[in-house]
Structure 1
Amino acid sequence: MNLTDLLRMSLGNLKRRKLRTFLTVLGVIIGTASIVVMISLGLGMQNSIYQEVEQSGGLTTLTVTGKSSGDTMMGYDGQNSDEPTKYITDDTIKEFSQIEHVKLAAPMYQMSGYLLKGPYIGYIQIVGTTREALENQNIELRPGGSLPAENSGQLEFVFGNGLQTQFYEKNSGKGYWDTGEMPDVDLEKDQMFLVLNTQAYDNARSGSGFGSGDGGEQPGTRKAKPAQKYVVHSSGVVAGGPDSYNTHFYNAYCDIDTLKMMLKREFAGTAIPGQPQTKSGKPYKFFAYTSASVKVDDLDEVDAVSQQLRDMGYNVQSNVEYVESMKSQFAIIQAVLGGIGAVSLLVAAIGIANTMMMSIYERTKEIGVIKVLGCSLKNIKQMFLMEAAFIGFLGGVIGNIFSFAISGAINFIVGSSGESMGFAGNISYIPVWLMLVSMGFAVLVGMVAGYFPALRAMRLSPLAAIRNE
């Protein structure tokens, strides 16, 4: 008996018992879809992390932090719990750039500010850095956008695509998160006013006359002067709408040298907020940055450069270390999710075994007849294994189709709330290899479930089988 005959008989037997075959295949469909969808959730979260890393400069970019500076606290990597002993200054950046295998060392300074536009006021997180550092972050801009000009004398910003949600009405204090309505602010076209001295601005609005904000003067401060308002405009906006979360969502990027010039002008004669001061309250001559972005030329040298920077007295965050730690966590998550889905496929395997055993009892005479006619034991085993494999294959194919439908529905539902959940991209991702592996696994489960029924069919005595009927 050739392969064609075996295949024809196997399919014919399945067609004769359509309802039972359908119910058995349905079990495989549910099991396959469960495994694929569960694993796809883990892969989706993993891809989200990879996208975030790419938006932060890739695996060869390091974030180096020194003693606290600016009004944003930078996190540490946990490997060096001691607080850094040195500030990051222009001399520090030059020192970093001279380290072997360092391709780029750029300063970064973070501070808060206000944007004013008509009746609206918006809180923004300003990130000042160099053009090279911005290029290294792989920021995708909307059509027509460009990175801020260097040393132009006027601040230009690349606005995050979610910055519009940070505006609220001055009078009512209500904004997007209160009303659900987007403020009438066009980040790309509108001319806005920037307030760098937020404390003076808040004091003026509240009627306080001091720079400290607590009703009394502090060392190094003087009676607050009115906050200056600087005309600023956008050089570009990060691609995506306010519902597309990414690493740059709330930030406003500008040229670091221009920002420093305006800060020194704004706070002339007094210490810039967040900058280190002497015990008498006087500012130091150097400008301390919040952090430094260091680009390594070779992935294999990332660990060595990181350790060298730590030995110099700084804390280092490495995207490589971050990804490696996340990989182990995602492996556990995927194993748990896959195990949950595998339970469904195990139940389907029991259903296949039951179907095949029932088929043997119903076809006892048929098995005896084909044995008497000279059909080999090997052919009988192959016939039953083919039936089981076909059930697994059919369930795997349809299960994958259902998986894509379920995955699409999950991404559609979660997409509207992706911003609040912190996901960039799809939460469910089904690669081609997962589809192929799941179909192969479904076929394998079918054949394993049908193996023992096939052995039983082989061992039936022809005479006993015919007499039994």
Structure 2
Amino acid sequence: MKLSDQFRFVRQNMKKNRTRVYMTILATAMGCAFLIVLASVGFGLQKSVVKEMTERRIMTQIDVYGQETTESGGYRQLDDKDVQEFEEMSDVKAVTRRKMLQQEGFYSIGNYQQSTQTVVANFPSEIKAGFELSEGSLGKDKAEVVVGYNFPLNLVEKGEQKEEMFDEQGQLKEEFRYNGKLIGETIELTVSKMEDGKKIEKVFPLEVVGISKKPTKEWAEDRSVYISEELLKEIEEFTGTPKGVVLDSANQLNLADLEASKNTFDDVKVYAKNMEAVQGIVDELKENDYATYSVVNELKEVNLMFAIAKAGLIFIGTIAILIASIGIYNTMTMAVTERAPDIGIMKAIGANPRTIKRIFLLESSYIGLIGAFIGTVVSYGISYAVNFVIPIIIKQAFGEETTPEIVFSDIPLSLPIICIVICYGVTILSGLRPAQRATKVDVLRAMRREV
């Protein structure tokens, strides 16, 4: 019997018992849909978490916090020697190093003011790492500064700040912002120190020569002011402390420790040439006892956790398909009983037992694959409905709005493939026993319908 004839024979037999076959296909489809939708929750949450992590961090960025010391077991801050060592490592694109003014910088221009972070940055390395300006240029003189993109957006009029001046996100409303030009204008930095229990202030006039590029992420803000190393030295001369630390009676810091930190950096980041090089750089840094953090390492841990969760969900979903396989087994067993005369005729005219077995396995495969296809289509519809309805339910029930980035259900191509493979394997196993039974049917008894 040709293979095409076998397929035609299977389709004819399935049509004879449509109701039973349709119900079996429906049970299989429900099992497959359950497996896919259940596992899609794991895929969806993983996608949301990974997206959140990758958007908030640069994938090639490695934060280096310090180097472990053998004497105390603690970590020392990084200096120029460490930065030079990082720059000489293979596959390193740039090494940024920043010092922070250890008191909040108070800036004013005309009748506007704001307090923000003051940073001493190495701009050649910052530019290599991707730092850009939206307008203006980099400072060349010690009195020239670059401000963050959000700095002018947060300049507020002097005096009491009222609640109506800010929107729901805590941002200063446009009508209360500084609306003049900033490039070429003079802003004043007020630095303070404590002397004999009294607060003494000094004003440093600075010229704004550049504004950084707008952050690519809506949630990100850059309100920092970038000053020169020379200006930091002047501030240190005024305060008498490294990095402008304010000392008072309640702040008893070890002056020796402060002096030791004078030429160290507060923030050091290593940028790899590509994402593939990150792990190698991290491993080399760890070998040299440097404390590091990379989003790539965190992603591995997150992906491992979700891989275990997804495997568990797929296992639970497979149970539903196994339950549906009982219906397939029952359908095929009934098919063997009802088609005993047909089996007897085929054996009487010399049909090979393998051919008879293949016919029944084809039929069980038909049921399984059709059910898997229908279940896959239905699961995509359910997934769409879940992502649409759940945020509405959360808002109505708890009064909380979910962010658009959260995906409750996601069905990658691999998931339906996994489901189809599982379903096909289960249906073959379900139809195997009835198919073997069909090959053992006695011809004479079959003709008498006494199977």
Question: Does TM, scored on the shorter chain, surpass 0.5?
Answer: yes
| 2:87 pairs with one of 88, 97, 105 | 97
- Paired residue type of 2:239: G
Kindly indicate whether residue 74 of structure 2 is the aligned counterpart of residue 83 of structure 1.
yes
2:383 is paired with a residue whose SS is helix
Using the TM superposition, name which of 257-266 and 95-104 deviates more.
Answer: 257-266
* Residues 146 and 437 (structure 1), Cα distance of their counterparts in 2 relative to 1, 3 Å cut: farther
Amino acid of the structure 2 residue aligned with 1:151 = G
By how many angstroms is 1:191 displaced? 5.2
Per-residue CA shift, 1:383-417, capped at 9, x if unaligned? Answer: 21111111111111122212222333344456788
Distance of 2:34 and 2:106 partners within structure 1: 49
Instruction: For residues 151-205 of structure 1, give each alpha carbon's deviation from its aligned partner in whole angstroms, at most 9, with x where no partner exists.
Output: 384544356xxx9xxxxx95459987xxx77867469x97599x9999x9xxxxx
Aligned to 2:417: 436
1:465 equivalent to 2:443? Answer no
1:48 & 1:262 partners in 2: Cα distance?
42
**Compared CA separation, residues 306 and 21, structure 1 to 2 (3 A):** same
- Number of the residue aligned with 2:437: 456
What is the distance in 1 between the residues matched to 2:311 and 2:361?
29
Taking structure 1 as reference, are residues 294 and 115 closer, same or farther at Cα in structure 2, changes over 3 Å only?
A: same
Provide the secondary structure at the position in 1 that maps to 2:148: strand
Structure 1 counterpart of 2:38, one-letter code: M
Alignment match, 2:378: 402
Deviations, residues 291-331 of structure 1 (Å, cap 9, x unaligned):
31113457787566445544655311244433333343232
| Equivalences for residues 363-402 of structure 1 within 5 A | 363-402=339-378
- RMSD, matched Cα: 5.2
Native 8 Å contact 2:98 2:120 kept in 1: yes
| Aligned 8 A contact 1:197 1:228 in 2 | yes
How far, CA to CA, are the matches of 2:240 and 2:423 in structure 1?
72
* Match of residue 56 from structure 1: 57
User: Shift of residue 47 of structure 1?
Assistant: 4.1
Distance 1:286 1:335 in 2: 52
Q: What is the distance in 2 between the residues matched to 1:299 and 1:404?
A: 33
Q: After the TM superposition, which of the residue ranges 330-339 and 281-290 deviates more from structure 2? A: 281-290
One-letter identity of the residue aligned with 1:5: D
Q: Contact 2:65/2:292 (CA < 8 Å) preserved in 1?
A: yes
Question: Is residue 213 of structure 2 the alignment partner of residue 235 of structure 1?
Answer: yes
* 1:290 lines up with 2:266 in the alignment: yes
Show the 5 A alignment for 1:147-186.
150-151=138-139, 153-157=144-148, 170-172=161-163, 185=173
Give the partner amino acid of 2:421. G
Determine helix, strand or coil for the equivalent of 1:429: coil
TM-score (norm 2): 0.69
SS of residue in 2 equivalent to 1:354: helix
One-letter amino acid of the counterpart of residue 96, structure 1: F
Q: Contact 1:24/1:352 (CA < 8 Å) preserved in 2? A: yes
- Cα drift, residue 445 of structure 1: 2.0
TM-score using structure 1 length:
0.66
Partner of 1:71: none
Alignment identity in percent? 24
Larger Cα Rg: Structure 1 or Structure 2? Answer: 2
- Structure 1: tracts of 5 or more residues without a match: 68-75, 164-168, 201-210, 241-248
For 2:318, the equivalent position in structure 1 comes to 342
Q: Against the structure 1 CA distance between its residues 221 and 431, is the aligned structure 2 distance closer, same or farther, given a 3 Å change threshold?
A: farther
Q: 5+ unaligned residues in a row in structure 2: which ranges?
A: 155-159
Deviations 1:188-229 (A, max 9, x none): x97599x9999x9xxxxxxxxxx99xxxx8x99742759999
CA distance change for structure 1 residues 431 and 227 in 2, over 3 Å: closer, same or farther? farther
* Cα 1:127–1:448 shift into 2, 3 Å: farther
